[in-house]
């Protein structure tokens, strides 16, 4: 099952300090808005989202339909297809996608160790 581009979404205390830190590791701002308290940082194919005051804890994020440059893919597994497969395998979803819709939608789940996983389709 292909889940799309992968990133880690970090809940940060000080977005400016986090930005400076990740820049020292070779990351550059790829997307986001500092004035809106979120940035997506990129180093090669590695993506780290910095989010100040938006959620608690860190989130593993997958984006069906996107490559690591946030460009739409011609072919991908829709989040609703992924939801169906996960549900069939007994995965408990905290948020489900509306199966009567098409296009952007998301699902969320928690892994056995309490880590949040977001599958967030933008196309």
pLDDT in tens, 46-101: 999 999 999 999 999 999 999 999 999 999 999 999 999 999 999 999 999 999 99
Unique residue bearing structure tokens 């948020």: 95
Q: What is the CATH number of domain 5-121?
A: 3.10.180.10
For the chain, the domains span 5-121
The tokens for 48 are 């780290």
- What is the average pLDDT value for the chain, to the nearest integer? 97
Q: Report the alpha-carbon distance of residue 119 to residue 53 in Å, rounded.
A: 21
pTM of the full structure:
0.92
Q: Are residues 82 and 26 in contact, defined by beta-carbon separation less than 8 angstroms?
A: no
């Amino acid at each position: 099952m292909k889940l799309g581009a992968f990133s880690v979404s970090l809940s940060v205390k000080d977005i400016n300090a986090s930005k400076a830190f990740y820049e020292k590791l070779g990351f550059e701002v790829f997307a986001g808005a500092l004035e809106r308290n979120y940035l997506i940082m990129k180093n090669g194919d590695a993506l780290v989202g910095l989010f100040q005051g938006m959620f608690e804890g860190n989130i593993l994020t997958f984006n069906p339909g996107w490559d690591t440059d946030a460009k739409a893919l011609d072919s991908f597994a829709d989040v609703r297809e992924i939801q169906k497969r996960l549900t069939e395998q007994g995965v408990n979803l905290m948020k489900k996608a509306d199966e009567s819709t098409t296009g952007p939608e998301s699902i969320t789940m928690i892994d056995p160790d309490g880590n949040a996983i977001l599958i967030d389709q933008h196309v």
